[in-house]
C-alpha cells in the first residue's frame, strides 16, 4: 500500500528476532510450512518472560532533558517483571482539564497550549480461509492470504504552527483489511499523522474522566480541599522499563494492549473449535503456533512503550515518530498446509490495537522571557521593542496568554525572540495568580528579564519575591539575567526614585547581573535595552 510519508518506528537498536516470527512469505510450499512450524519449539516459549535489551535511539534523541518530575521506585526486577514506580497524579494530567475545580480559568483568544488526546492504533486484519478452485479441481490447496497490519499513530513537529487549538480530542487509525483468496494479503490500515508546533512535549497521561473521579473522591474527604494538594498527594503506580533488563532506572512507561492468550485467536470454517481441539494433529499444531503468538507478544512489548518524561519535539522533525503501533495481521490458512493437515479450515485473527491517552504540551521556545508582577509594563516593553502587539492596559492581568515578539536589530545583526507571560504575584507557588501556569513557555529560554516598576514602594523586594516564586536561585543559576527597572519617568526629580534603582543595581551587580532603568511608555533607553537584551540572549552561563 502506498505511503505518503516515511515514518520512523521506535525499533530497538538490537531487536531480538525469534525464528517463530519469521513466517514464510506468500505462496509458501508444504515444505516451507513444515520447516517454519518445526522451529516453533519450546525454546521460543522460554523467551516469553525474557526482557528484551533495547535502547531506542529515536527516543533518546527526543527525550526531555531538564523537565523531569520526581518518582519513587517501589520494586525492580527480578522481584517484579517491570520497574514499579510511583509519582504524583499531577504529573500525569493537566489542571486545565479540571476547570470546575480550578479558580484560574482564564482564556484569551484561541491560544491553546495543552491538549489531552485519546489515540488508538488499528487492529490487524483477519487471515483468510480459502482454497484454490479451478476448472479441474473443485477444492485445491489452501490459498487464504494474511490480514493487513493495522494503521499506526504518528506525531511530527512542523513549521507554521503556534498553537494546539486545531488538534482533535481523539485520533483513530484504520484497521487492516482481511486477507483474501488467491493468497492476497489485506491492505494496511490508514495511518494517522498528528502535526504539532515546534516546542511541543508529548507525554503519557491518564484519562481525564478517571482523574476527575479521583479528584472528586479526595475532595469528599476534606472540607476545604486544595486542588494542587490533591494532585500532589494522590499517587499513581506505573509500570516502567529501563534501557536494558539490568538497568533499574525507569526510562520508559510500558503500555499494554488487550490481546488474546497464546494459542487462542483462531477462526474456524465448517468445523467447530471443539472439533479441532479434539484432534491430536491440531493440538500439536496449536502448541507450536502458541509459541509464535508468544513471540509476537514479546515483539509488541518491545515497541509498546513511551519515554517516562515525554517526547520533546524541540526541533522540526524530518520524519514522523510512531506513538502507537498497529496490530499485526492474522495468518491465512495457506500457512498451515502440511503433510498431515491437507485441508486447514482455520486461520488466525488479527492482533489487537493499542489505545492510550497523551498530553500534548506546548512550551514556546524564545531566547528571552519577561518575568514580572502584573502591570509592571512587560507588554508595553514587548510592544516597543518588537513586532508583537500584546494586549496593553492600565489594569492588572492584562496579559492572559503568552506572547512572543521578534526583535529585528538591523542589517547584519542577529535577531532574537522575547516571550511575555502573565504577571506573577506573591504566593504564586502556593497556587495563587496564574503566572506560574505559563512559566513553562520561558523554561527553555537562554535568559530571563526581570521587569520591575519604580513606582512601587520597594522594587528590590519585588525582585526578591519574583526570584522566590520562580524557584529561587537554584532555578535561575543557569540563566542569563537582566534586571529592567521600568517607569523611571515617574517622579524623576525625587532622590528616592534614583535610590530605588541604585539598590536594585547593587543587588544585581553582586550576582553578576546587568541592570538598566527605562521608560517604556516614553520609549526612553529602549535602544540600550535592546542591546543589553541581545547580549543576554547570546549564551547560557556555564
- Over 50: is that where the pLDDT of 219 sits? yes
Rounded CA separation 514/507 (Å) = 10
Report whether 196 contacts 168 (CB < 8 A).
no
The confidence band for 66, taking pLDDT boundaries of 50, 70 and 90, is low
User: 72 vs 64, which has greater pLDDT?
Assistant: 72
> Parallel, antiparallel, or unpaired for β 192-197 and 153-158?
parallel
E strands in 208-317: 235-241, 252-254, 266-268, 305-307, 311-313
> Parallel, antiparallel, or unpaired for β 416-420 and 368-372?
parallel
Would the CA dihedral through 398, 476, 444, 512 be positive or negative?
A: positive
The residue behind cell 535489551 is 53
Would the CA dihedral through 517, 519, 524, 530 be positive or negative?
A: positive
User: 122 vs 217, which has greater pLDDT?
Assistant: 122
Q: For residue range 13-49, list pLDDT tens digits in order.
A: 333 333 445 677 767 888 888 888 888 765 444 443 3
Phi, psi of 453 (to 5 degrees): -110, 120
Rounded CA separation 537/479 (Å) = 10
Q: What is the mean pLDDT of the chain?
A: 82
Q: Which residues pair with 419 in a beta bridge?
A: 369, 404
Q: For residue range 373-415, list pLDDT tens digits in order.
A: 888 888 889 888 886 554 444 434 444 567 778 888 776 678 8
Helix (H, G, I), strand (E, B) or coil at 348: strand
- b/e map 248-261, b = 16+ CB within 10 Å: eebbbbbbebebee
Report whether 112 contacts 100 (CB < 8 A).
no
pTM here?
A: 0.81
Q: For residue range 74-99, list pLDDT tens digits in order.
A: 999 989 999 999 999 999 998 878 76
Rounded CA separation 38/46 (Å) = 16
Report whether 237 contacts 85 (CB < 8 A).
yes
Smallest CA-to-CA distance from 353 within 145, 184, 210, 191 is with: 191
131 grid coordinates? 482454497
Rounded CA separation 472/468 (Å) = 4
Amino acid at each position: 500500500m502506498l505511503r505518503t510519508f516515511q515514518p520512523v518506528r521506535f525499533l530497538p537498536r538490537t531487536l531480538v528476532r525469534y525464528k517463530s516470527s519469521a513466517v514464510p512469505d506468500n505462496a509458501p510450499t508444504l515444505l516451507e510450512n513444515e520447516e517454519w512450524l518445526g522451529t516453533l519449539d519450546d525454546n521460543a516459549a522460554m523467551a516469553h518472560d525474557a526482557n528484551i535489551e533495547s535502547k531506542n535511539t529515536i527516543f533518546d534523541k527526543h527525550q526531555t532533558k531538564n523537565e523531569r518530575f520526581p518518582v519513587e521506585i517501589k520494586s525492580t526486577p527480578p522481584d517484579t517483571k517491570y520497574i514499579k514506580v510511583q509519582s504524583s497524579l499531577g504529573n500525569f494530567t493537566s489542571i486545565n482539564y479540571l476547570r470546575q475545580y480550578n479558580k484560574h480559568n482564564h482564556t484569551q483568544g484561541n491560544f491553546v497550549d495543552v491538549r489531552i488526546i485519546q489515540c488508538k492504533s488499528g487492529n490487524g486484519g483477519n487471515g483468510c480461509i480459502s482454497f484454490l478452485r479451478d476448472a479441474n479441481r473443485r477444492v485445491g490447496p489452501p490459498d487464504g492470504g494474511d490480514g493487513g497490519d493495522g494503521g499506526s499513530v504518528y506525531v511530527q513537529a512542523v513549521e507554521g504552527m503556534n498553537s494546539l487549538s486545531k488538534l482533535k480530542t481523539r485520533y483513530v487509525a484504520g484497521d487492516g483489511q482481511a486477507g483474501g483468496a488467491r493468497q492476497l494479503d489485506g491492505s494496511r490500515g490508514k495511518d494517522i499523522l498528528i502535526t504539532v508546533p515546534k516546542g511541543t512535549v508529548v507525554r503519557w497521561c491518564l484519562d481525564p474522566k478517571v482523574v476527575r473521579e479521583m479528584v472528586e473522591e479526595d475532595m469528599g474527604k476534606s472540607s476545604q480541599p486544595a486542588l494542587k494538594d490533591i494532585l500532589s498527594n494522590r499517587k499513581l503506580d506505573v509500570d516502567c522499563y529501563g534501557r536494558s533488563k539490568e538497568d533499574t532506572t525507569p526510562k520508559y512507561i510500558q503500555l499494554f494492549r488487550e490481546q488474546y492468550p497464546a494459542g487462542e485467536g483462531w477462526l474456524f470454517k465448517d468445523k467447530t473449535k471443539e472439533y479441532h481441539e479434539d484432534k491430536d494433529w491440531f493440538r500439536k499444531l496449536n502448541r507450536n503456533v502458541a509459541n509464535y503468538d508468544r513471540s509476537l507478544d514479546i515483539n509488541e512489548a518491545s515497541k509498546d512503550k513511551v519515554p517516562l518524561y515525554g517526547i520533546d519535539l524541540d526541533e522540526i522533525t524530518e520524519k514522523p515518530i510512531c506513538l502507537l503501533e498497529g496490530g499485526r495481521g492474522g495468518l491465512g490458512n495457506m500457512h498451515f498446509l502440511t503433510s498431515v493437515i491437507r485441508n486447514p479450515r482455520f486461520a488466525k485473527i488479527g492482533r489487537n490495537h493499542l489505545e492510550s491517552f497523551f498530553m500534548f504540551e506546548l512550551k514556546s521556545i524564545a531566547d528571552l522571557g519577561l518575568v514580572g508582577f502584573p502591570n509592571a509594563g512587560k507588554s508595553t516593553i514587548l510592544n516597543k521593542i518588537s513586532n508583537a502587539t500584546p494586549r496593553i492596559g492600565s489594569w492588572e492581568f492584562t496579559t492572559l496568554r503568552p506572547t512572543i515578539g521578534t526583535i529585528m536589530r538591523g542589517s547584519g545583526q542577529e535577531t532574537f525572540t522575547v516571550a511575555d507571560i502573565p504577571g506573577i504575584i506573591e504566593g504564586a507557588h502556593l497556587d495563587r495568580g496564574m503566572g506560574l501556569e505559563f512559566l513553562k513557555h520561558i523554561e527553555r529560554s537562554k535568559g530571563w528579564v526581570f521587569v520591575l516598576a519604580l513606582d512601587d514602594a520597594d522594587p528590590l523586594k519585588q525582585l526578591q519575591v519574583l526570584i522566590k516564586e520562580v524557584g529561587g536561585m537554584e532555578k535561575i543559576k543557569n540563566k542569563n539575567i537582566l534586571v529592567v527597572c521600568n517607569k523611571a519617568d515617574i517622579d524623576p526629580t525625587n532622590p528616592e526614585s534614583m535610590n530605588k534603582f541604585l539598590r536594585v543595581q547593587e543587588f544585581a551587580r553582586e550576582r553578576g547581573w546587568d541592570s538598566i532603568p527605562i521608560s517604556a511608555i516614553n520609549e526612553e533607553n529602549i535602544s540600550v535595552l535592546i542591546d543589553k537584551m541581545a547580549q543576554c540572549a547570546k549564551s547560557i552561563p556555564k
